[in-house]
Amino acid sequence: MPLDRSTQHKLKTLYNALADRVLEPDDPVYVAQINQHGGADVIAEIATEISWQDGGGVCLFTGQRGTGKSTELRRLKRLVEDDGATVFYVDLSEFMLLTKEVEISDFLVSVAGAMSEQLHRRYGSAPGDRSYWDRLGDFLATKVEFKELGIKLPGLDIKAALKNDPDFKKKVQEAARGHVAQLVRDAHDFLAESVQHVRAQERDPQRKVVLLLDSVERIRGVGNEAMAVYERVRNLFFGHAEHLRIPLLHLVYTIPPYLSVLAAGAGSLMGGAVTRRLVSTHIFQDRSRDPDPAGLALLRQVVTARFPAWTEIFEAEALDKLALSSGGDLREFFRLVRLCLPSVREDAQLPLTVDAVKPAENAAPPVPGAPERAALPAGARPGAAAGAGAAGRFPRRGAQHRARSLARAGAQRRIACTPRRRAGRGAAGTCPGLGHGDHQRQHGLAGLRRMGASAERRRNGRLPAHGGARYCRTARRGPPRGRQARGGACAGRGAAARR
């Protein structure tokens, strides 16, 4: 029979209860344990570090989208405020165009402009009774490079133009490259004055001022611009790390996860900042693909907090299946649960069984390392699959992560081509893709790129091909030297002769 009104109301209530939204720490549906794994609480660690820092400092915070970073930043704000500091939370997506290249000049302009608006919102004033946007407009109006932009700057909403107009942003970046030092100095001066302004307003000359900058991790390119955007972000946090430290001000940046690869060690240039990561819920046991009962119970607890009567809609096993398909990503878990609800047409379908949620499971992106490998074509290697379709296996990770996966898969294929497997190919048996000592470089991205170049030259006949025994000997003793390194000693000989 068709759904009655009470069932429809329950389905609608559950659907809306799982809508994606940022929670405050005192929200009744907030479950603190969701982001505390193994007794570690990265938010409490950051709060302690800010409490111990003197004269300003930088903290780095990262995590995949959907892990609850924005919600946890609000908890951090509450903890630091309870410790006596003045905290401002800024969503930089309101000030920056996150899909285009970013430079230190427009990044600091956005940070200073955001701080200016926060001061005006809280105190109704700004340092010197002039907003940062007014200061920036006056600066741009005095420079020939900006006058040549052909845009009437007086009265221009610079904030909106930088966020919504890619062409204007690019022109400003090009014109600003001759004034980077001055723009950086002006932004630093305004932010330092902002700290003093807060202390004056609070009548506390030692008051700590903290600025939480959210959504920086969302800077990512689209299409052909992707790698250029990633490179700009790397340069921002590595090449300009010293400019991201502001005197007297405590800053918390949410950074993209791929920066741990592209700009490893950037934190050391910011006064020894350590990147703290917010991970997804632990739904698999360590070093295993076996479900973790504690993690699954935690996700059920999250649903219970939002809709206690969920057992009338789902069987527990069905909800666990959706949790496993999500990989522990809370946002993805909610999406899969919501995906099941509109298809319910009769009361007899409830509670939904494991079979009933399979269409939603199929709509979930593959979980990295999950048993989907069993579905590979017969004879296919997991490494080969990763090389052929890493973008599909890691849908929520950045292009650099996929590049590393492709490189790692290439190394796996080269390692898999062992001398024993090449035995029997005869004197002409070759291992295309392995050069003179490339095995020593197979774990580095640069080395792997050189492997590809060497393979191309070998296919064109510009490098000799070597047999299995030759590679077996170099693998044991290291790269060949002297005449052997030039290929003269062994070129054209069979495996037996070289042995």
Nearest-CA neighbor of 225 among 109, 98, 92, 107?
A: 98
Asked whether residue 199 carries a pLDDT value surpassing 80, the answer given is yes
Residue 424 binned pLDDT confidence (cut-offs 50, 70, 90): very low
pLDDT at residue number 454: 46
How much of the chain exceeds pLDDT 90, in percent? 32
Q: How far apart are CA 169 and CA 176, in angstroms?
A: 10
Kindly tell me if the per-residue pLDDT of 496 is higher than 60: no
State which amino acid sits at residue 233: V
Which residues make Cβ contacts (< 8 Å) with residue 35, sequence separation at least 6?
Answer: 41, 42, 43, 67, 68, 72, 278, 279
Looking at residue 427, its pLDDT comes to: 37
Residue 178 dihedral angles phi and psi, to the nearest 5°:
-90, 0
pTM above 0.75, yes or no: no
Q: Is the pLDDT of residue 11 over 80?
A: yes
The tens digit of pLDDT for each residue in 203-253 reads: 999 999 999 999 888 888 788 888 888 888 888 888 888 899 998 999 999
Q: Give pLDDT, residue 425.
A: 38
Give the DSSP letter string of 368-434. Answer: TTSGGGGGSPTT--HHHHHHHHHHHHSTTS-HHHHHHHHHHHHHHHHHHS-HHHHTTS-TT---TT-
Report pLDDT digits (tens) over 86-105: 999 999 988 888 888 888 88
Count the Cβ atoms, other than its own, within 10 Å of residue 289.
12
Question: What pLDDT sits at residue 396?
Answer: 43
Sequence-distant (≥ 6) Cβ neighbours of residue 51 within 8 angstroms: 80, 83
pLDDT reported for residue 10:
94
Q: Which of 55-59, 203-207, 481-485 has the lowest mean pLDDT?
A: 481-485
* Res 147: pLDDT: 56
State residue 34's pLDDT score.
Answer: 82
Alpha helices, DSSP H, located in 18-68: 42-52
172 vs 338, which has greater pLDDT?
A: 338
What does the DSSP assignment read for 325-357?
HHTT-HHHHHHHHHHHGGG--BGGGPSB-TTTT
Instruction: Read off the pLDDT band of 150 (50, 70, 90).
Output: low
